[in-house]
Amino acid sequence: MTYDQGTFYIIHVLAIIILSGLTFVAFANPVEAQRRKVLMASGISSLLAVIAGFGLSGSFKYGFPGWMIVKLVCWLGLSVMAGIAYRKPQKIPALAGITIALLIIALYMVYFQRFSGVGTNWRRRAKARPTPQTNAGGIGLRHCGWQPNPSPKMKPITAAGN
Ligand code: HEM
């Protein structure tokens, strides 16, 4: 894992956490007095999340795989939620449910369901990904021995990379 990739990871995940938090601030208290500050901060964190996401994709040479297109749709949905909450506070319960669903789908995509798509070469990346056996540094749950249940579509990664 290069320093750049580590930095992109931190920015990406932190920005997603802040964006989600601010969205729930808008859900909890959609008052006009806070609207401008919350929307500005959520806009900035939304931008940072997507820039770092593409940064990661570029550094891993993923191209534009299907799972990332799904994540992009989730990110877009998450990014507009706070604005809708201020405009239509009566819809907040439904918006909260949709937001949680979007987050679950995005996390499921990155941890369990990477499917191919346009210009994908995640298989080469997966082969190159350090496994607990090789333990070649890096961040993320997988590097502390956690292994996701291999989805039927994902070929389990072996130390030999087959
Ligand atoms: C709601 C939206 C999103 C959520 C919740 C989310 C969450 C995450 C998380 C938690 C990781 C770290 C995975 C790990 O520990 O290895 C990650 C990695 C990543 N995300 Fe996102 N993300 C979102 C949107 C996006 C978007 C819009 C893009 C692309 C523009 C993107 C591209 C990536 C890439 C390329 C990685 C690296 C995957 C790898 O480790 O091989 N994500 N994302």
Give the distance, in angstroms, between the CA of residue 126 and the centroid of all CA atoms in the same chain. Answer: 18
Q: How high is the mean pLDDT in each 10-residue block of the chain (162 residues)?
A: 93 98 96 94 98 94 90 98 96 97 95 64 50 48 52 56 54
Contact yes or no for 117/69 (Cβ under 8 A): yes
Q: What is the DSSP letter of 91?
A: G
Contact yes or no for 76/94 (Cβ under 8 A): no
- Assess whether 10 and 82 both reside in one domain: yes
- Assess whether 68 and 138 both reside in one domain: no
- Assess whether 29 and 85 both reside in one domain: yes
Return the residue whose CA atom lies nearest to atom 9 of ligand 1. 13
Q: Evaluate: CB of 65 within 6 angstroms of ligand 1.
A: no
Query: Would 34 be classed as within a structural domain?
Result: yes
Q: Could you tell me the residue range of the domain that residue 16 belongs to?
A: 3-111
Instruction: Using most ligand atoms within 8 A of CB, pick from 12, 13, 14, 154 the residue to mutate for ligand 1.
Output: 12
- Assess whether 149 and 78 both reside in one domain: no
Ligand 1 centroid, distance to 53 Cα (angstroms) = 6
- Assess whether 107 and 53 both reside in one domain: yes
- Assess whether 64 and 138 both reside in one domain: no
Return the residue whose CA atom lies nearest to atom 28 of ligand 1. 53
Element (H, E) at 64: none
- Assess whether 51 and 102 both reside in one domain: yes
Ligand 1 centroid, distance to 157 Cα (angstroms) = 20
Query: Would 38 be classed as within a structural domain?
Result: yes
What pLDDT does residue 33 have? 92
What pLDDT does residue 148 have? 54
Per the structure, the count of domains in the chain is 2
- Assess whether 74 and 106 both reside in one domain: yes
Contact yes or no for 15/75 (Cβ under 8 A): no
- Assess whether 99 and 147 both reside in one domain: no
What pLDDT does residue 76 have? 98
What pLDDT does residue 64 have? 87
